[in-house]
Amino acid sequence: MFKIRSLVTALALASSVSVASAWETLPTEAPAPADNATTAAKVELGQMLYHDPRLSSTGTVSCSSCHNTMLGGEDNRPNSMGVNGQTGGRSAPTVWNAAFNAVQFWDGRAPSLEAQAAGPVTNPIEMGMKSWDDVVARLQSIEGYQKAFEQAFGKEAISKDTATKAIAAYERTLITPNSPYDKYVSGDKSALSAQQVRGMEKVAELGCTNCHSGPAFNGPGMFQKFPAIPNGYWEAQYHFSKDKGLAEVSKNQADEHLFKVPTLRNIALTAPYFHNGSVKTLDKAVTLMAKLQLGKDLTKEEVADIVAFLEGLTGEFPKQKMPVLPATPGSTFN
């Protein structure tokens, strides 16, 4: 680490953006790293792996269990459920538009989608496989995956590296452009209602886009302390400070309560809110963010306007055909 530590320092210098540069439309394609160009074969393989519960120890949990691409890209639970009904301490972030995050996970511990894809599979609370060697052995035993990996990576053997690259390639296709907001910024002034425009102006006035900046409203790679302003009343209700954020990984006291700035795209679909999933509604989340991050008390009308604007960030979801997973006739992994 610690690369994340240096990243926090560097990105802190870019923590302020002008309102004029804040309104950007979402790209329709995500850039891929030099060592993992996006190809149709990789995306097809990655989609299979993403939806295959056999990558878990019990054969019951897949990536899509917690990051559902038929919904808002997460599971609408306060805390996601892994193998044997176990739950962690954080709410699953959305996979939609995750390709535009500079770092992954709430604590930003993964610098790429490839690195992120490797973690949950062997996490004992999430997918529960003992090691990636066990995952590779399982994949190698399935004839359909042997063929799919060869089509995607040539004669290269099935491995942790190729599996995570395929999953990441698929995730880079999970983009939701053309929201009412995007259409408005592109010149269609009828795409947002008068209330949504008021909310958009209030978001700029309050300074929300100082953190939620960029086309994905995620301040790409930025970390922010949450809550920034201590409040015993709200802490007693929502326990925000129980989680130390980046410090859980870095073990550095200066990193306590630092979290990756989450995207506001499709936020109307991703309740409950915040890292611990403790807030059930979007209007309450807006009220709390204004109070705990900006020291502002908003009126009901202002909250309603901002919520209306945020609802205008719901984009168009790409049409997907669910994959047919390679079969294992006459055998079981349990």
Q: Which of 121, 152, 171 corresponds to the end of one domain?
A: 171
Domain at 131, CATH number: 1.10.760.10
Domain count, the chain: 2
Asked whether 50 and 121 are in contact (CB, 8 A), the reply is no
Output the average pLDDT for the chain: 93
Q: What is the pLDDT of residues 3-54, one digit of tens each?
A: 444 444 334 433 333 343 469 999 999 999 999 999 999 999 999 999 999 9
- Please state the rounded mean pLDDT for residues 190-207: 98
**Same-domain pairing of 156 and 252:** no
Tell the residue number behind the tokens 């639970």, with chain if given.
77
Catalytic residues, by residue number, are 126
Domain annotation covers residue 328:
no
Q: Which residue has the tokens 């302003």?
A: 229
How far from 130 is each of 49, 88, 106, 137, 238, CA to CA, in Å?
A: 18, 18, 23, 12, 34
**What letters, b where the CB count within 10 A reaches 16 and e where it falls short, cover 180-190?**
bbbbbbeeeee
- From the number of C-beta atoms within 10 Å of its C-beta (0-12, 13-18, 19+), residue 71 rates as middle
The predicted pLDDT at position 155 comes to 85
Averaged pLDDT, 92-104: 97
Closest C-alpha to 313, from 200, 221, 171, 186: 200
Report yes or no: 38 and 169 within 8 Å, Cβ to Cβ. yes
Same-domain pairing of 234 and 190: yes
Domain for residue 31, yes or no?
Answer: no
Indicate whether 115 and 212 sit together in one domain: no
257 and 153 housed in the same domain: no
Chain centroid to Cα 34, Å, comes to: 22
Spatial separation of the C-alpha atoms in residues 19 and 217, rounded to whole Å: 12
Same domain for 273 and 211: yes
Query: Do 198 and 85 share a structural domain?
Result: no
State the Cα–Cα distance between residues 82 and 267, nearest whole angstrom. Answer: 23
User: Does 324 reside within a domain?
Assistant: no
- pLDDT value, residue 178: 98
- pLDDT at residue number 330: 80
* Consecutive H or E run containing 260: strand 258-260
Percentage, residues of the chain above pLDDT 90: 90
* 3-state SS class at 259: strand
Range of the domain at 115: 40-171
Distances (CA, A) of 97 to 26, 74, 155, 172, 225: 9, 12, 31, 8, 23
DSSP 36: S
Q: Pick the range with the lowest mean pLDDT from 8-17, 147-156, 185-194, 203-212.
A: 8-17
Q: Select from 171, 201, 221 the last residue of a domain.
A: 171
Strand spans (E) along 116-257? 223-225
pLDDT tens digit sequence for 261-288: 999 999 999 999 999 999 999 999 999 9
List pLDDT tens digits, range 159-173. 999 999 999 999 999
Instruction: Return d(Cα 303, Cα 286) in angstroms, integer.
Output: 7
Average pLDDT for 95-117: 97
Check pLDDT > 50 for residue 241: yes
Residues 163 and 209 in one domain: no
Q: Give, in order, the Cα–Cα distances in Å from 334 to each of 42, 49, 56, 58, 60.
A: 28, 18, 11, 7, 10
